[in-house]
Amino acid sequence: MPAEAPRPTWVSARPVTGGYYVGIGLANKNRPDAQEAAKKNALNDLASEISVTVEGNSLLYTLDRRTTFDESFTSTIKTSSVELLEGFELVDTYENEAEYWTYYRLSKSEHARIKAERKANAIGIAIDLRSRAKASLAAGDLKGAFDQDLRALIAMKAYWGENDIVELNGEQVPLVNALYGDLQLLSSGVTFSILPERCVLDYSNGFKREVVIKARYTGGSALVQLPVVIAYPGSNGKVTELKNTDTDGNLRTTVQHVANDQNKAPEIVVRLNMDELIHTETDQALAKALGASLTQPEQRAAIDRVMPKVYMRAQETNLGEPVGDAGAASAIRQELTSNGFRFVDREADCDMLLDLTSATRQGGESNGFFIAYLDLTYSIRDRRTKDVIHEGGQQGVKGVQLNFEKAGLEAYKKAIADIKKELVPGIMNAFN
């Protein structure tokens, strides 16, 4: 068996070379890609030596202080990635029965030359995109302007920790900060208006209302094809609509199926759809992190649900005798009132007529228990048109008690519980 080659000094002690960055990589030979793994580890080691010092007042410094990005992300920006390494050379390799070692180096002067070339190219791309963004904004295309400024900023990603001064329109400015400032101005300059300012839903409009949303930029210019998110509480959960403004910077939507929450007044919320401003080809994770750091413009408008006025006509008996407050009329009134409906004393003042008829009848007797049955019907009509809005009832609802009268009242209790569950949803579904 041949003797094992002596271990070179660079395996035991890291070389010190003033003119070069050094990378040492090790991989276990029990893996099939030991050589490639050792190379990758060496280049990672090499890249770690080229750490960028974050300059004060740079974009990365600012974002770090705001904790906009997590530590893992900022560290990838601060350190040159392996994929960007060029000009490195293999110095030596070493292996024994168990290990494979590689030694790479990169000339510091060559790295500086390559970096300067890349930076100049990135600056050229960024300045060109910024110029296009200005033209897009002048045409009312904020989405296009945002995309171009964002791509310009991402093109400069490797230099976010630096304060490169360039000439823009005759001024010397830090390019990366200027690009980020452009994005901030674009988002913060968006304003929305909602007409009407209060969205009233009532009986006369069938509890639905069209609203107009206007999107404008600083100075009043219309924003065309701007992606917008519209949200409000719906009866079946949150309603979210994604729409774009038209050529006049406006859009229309119909507010309907609004939830009735007695503890919280409903409202329409309109905001800029930041996700739709980001082109699908852009680095999504990075772009969304940047978007989250910007001002999020939004506008709100109250939704007022004005419930109809109701006049009730009730005929209720228990075994032929008036049932009074123990009948369904009192419970129905309470249920509707708690949901915002308003009862009036004159038919001429109402929007809806509620007719209620209920009566119990004797059933049989068994083992000392008495049975009664309840038949109940109700209808709700438009006072003017006489059209039926909603109707329902219960037939043959069984009550069992120690006498017929109590059995009839028991049947009323059962029927009321079911009616309360379906009454208000039934009325509102007629409009929805």
DSSP β-ladder status, 198-202 and 171-174? unpaired
pLDDT of amino acid 69: 58
Helix (H, G, I), strand (E, B) or coil at 326: helix
Are 380 and 424 within 8 A, CB to CB? no
Helix (H, G, I), strand (E, B) or coil at 10: helix
Please name the helix (run of DSSP H) or strand (run of DSSP E) that holds residue 425, with its range, or none.
helix 404-431
* Rg, Å, the chain Cα set: 37
Q: Are 236 and 264 members of one domain?
A: yes
**CA atoms of 38 and 51, how far apart (whole Å):** 21
280 occurs within a structural domain: no
4 occurs within a structural domain: no
**CA atoms of 223 and 142, how far apart (whole Å):** 6
Q: Are 301 and 313 members of one domain?
A: no
pLDDT of amino acid 92: 95
pLDDT of amino acid 430: 80
What is the span of the domain harbouring residue 81? 9-108
Q: Are 338 and 401 members of one domain?
A: yes
Q: Is the peptide bond before 425 cis (omega within 30 degrees of 0)?
A: no
Are 348 and 382 within 8 A, CB to CB? no
Q: Which of 188, 206, 237 is the last residue of a domain?
A: 188
Q: Are 329 and 411 members of one domain?
A: yes
pLDDT of amino acid 402: 94
pLDDT of amino acid 1: 42
Q: Mean pLDDT of residues grouped by 10 in the chain (432 residues)? A: 75 89 94 93 87 72 64 52 76 93 94 90 94 92 93 88 81 90 94 94 90 93 94 89 95 90 84 86 77 89 92 94 90 89 94 95 91 94 92 92 94 91 84 68
- Please name the residue that has the structure tokens 């494979």: 100
Domain of residue 399, CATH code: 3.30.160.180
Q: Are 61 and 117 members of one domain?
A: no
Q: Are 163 and 197 members of one domain?
A: no
Domain of residue 27, CATH code: 3.10.28.20
Q: Are 48 and 134 members of one domain?
A: no
pLDDT of amino acid 75: 55
Half-sphere exposure of 387 (CA within 13 A, CB side): 5
1 occurs within a structural domain: no
Q: Are 414 and 349 members of one domain?
A: yes
Paired tokens of 276: 């739709």
Burial category of 150 from C-beta neighbours within 10 Å (exposed 0-12, middle 13-18, buried 19 and up): buried
Q: Are 410 and 313 members of one domain?
A: yes
Q: Which of 159, 188, 217 is the last residue of a domain?
A: 188
3 occurs within a structural domain: no
**CA atoms of 177 and 166, how far apart (whole Å):** 11
Residue 47 — φ and ψ, nearest 5°?
-65, -35
Domain of residue 200, CATH code: 2.60.40.1940
Q: Are 182 and 167 members of one domain?
A: yes
Domain total for the chain? Answer: 4
Q: Are 407 and 372 members of one domain?
A: yes
Q: Which of 108, 132, 147 is the last residue of a domain?
A: 108
Q: Are 103 and 125 members of one domain?
A: no
